[in-house]
């Protein structure tokens, strides 16, 4: 059964959504830029302004289900010293930025609870939603389904023939991705949720290191 959040919860997800997709796509563009590709910078994608990054359907999925995607950053791998590894590192940057952001939000929530420094419950919920969205956006994009980041991260370790296979059958991955959205509740329950438990446990461990 599909569980749709309340209108208030959906509205409170929007700031976290805008931040999560912005930091995700900016990280892609920034790592590409560090490797000599200035295309993302010329296209205005290395920015925390969410407008250049928003994909309508991906944003709706994030608001409704807590996971989704943004408008992909276009890069030019021919500018990389090692295109295969460069593409993998660029892909990894987005989910890594979201996990780091989630850790920051988790730290804020820890001290907000410890010292009762956030009195407004809606602002607190907004931070909680930003935390969750960053985690689930990272996990969803780590799935090894083209064109998601997880399929490109494999470039770092996979042989060259994998790259050829990827581009030949990328359209199949897009069909699978559409199916994932259609069966979102099952994807959330049986795939993303177990991975999320591991990520949450890791973040809890990191939080335990803070006084």
- pLDDT of amino acid 182: 65
* 10 Cα distance to chain centroid: 18
Predicted confidence at residue 2, as pLDDT, reads 44
Task: Indicate which residue of 25, 164, 170, 204 is catalytic.
Answer: 25
Contact assessment for residue 146 and residue 118, using Cβ atoms and an 8 Å cutoff: no
* Positions in the chain whose pLDDT score sits under 50: 1-3
Copy the structure tokens of residue 40. Answer: 């993302």
Instruction: State how far the Cα of 100 lies from the Cα of 26, in Å rounded to an integer.
Output: 14
For residue 49, the tally of other CB atoms under 10 A from its CB is 11
What does the alpha-carbon distance between residue 80 and residue 83 come to, in Å, rounded to a whole number? Answer: 5
Distance CA 83, CA 58 (A): 27
Domain limits, the chain: 7-208
Quick check: helix, strand or coil at residue 87?
A: helix
CA distance 61 to 151: 20
List all residues 6 or more positions away from 58 whose beta carbon is below 8 Å from its beta carbon: 21, 68, 69, 70, 71
pLDDT digits (tens, 9 = 90+) for 90-141: 999 999 999 999 999 999 999 998 888 888 889 999 999 999 999 999 998 8
Q: Is 170 a catalytic residue?
A: no
């Amino acid at each position: 059964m599909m569980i749709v959040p309340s209108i208030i919860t959906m509205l409170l997800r929007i700031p976290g959504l805008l931040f999560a997709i912005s930091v995700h796509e900016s990280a892609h563009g920034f790592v590409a830029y560090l490797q000599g590709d200035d295309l993302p910078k010329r296209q205005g994608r290395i920015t925390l302004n969410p407008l250049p990054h928003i994909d309508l359907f991906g944003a709706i999925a994030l608001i409704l289900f807590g996971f989704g995607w943004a408008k992909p950053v276009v890069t030019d791998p021919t500018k990389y010293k090692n295109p295969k590894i460069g593409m993998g590192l660029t892909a990894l940057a987005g989910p890594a930025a979201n996990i780091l952001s989630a850790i920051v939000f988790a730290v804020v929530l820890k001290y907000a609870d410890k010292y009762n420094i956030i009195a407004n419950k809606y602002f607190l919920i907004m931070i909680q939603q930003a935390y969750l969205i960053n985690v689930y956006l990272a996990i969803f994009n780590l799935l090894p389904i083209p064109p998601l980041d997880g399929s490109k991260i494999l470039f770092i370790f996979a042989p060259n023939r994998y790259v050829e296979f990827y581009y030949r059958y990328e359209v199949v991955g897009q069909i699978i991705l559409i199916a994932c959205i259609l069966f979102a509740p099952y994807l959330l329950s049986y795939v993303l949720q177990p991975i999320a438990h591991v990520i949450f446990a890791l973040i809890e461990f990191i939080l335990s290191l803070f006084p």
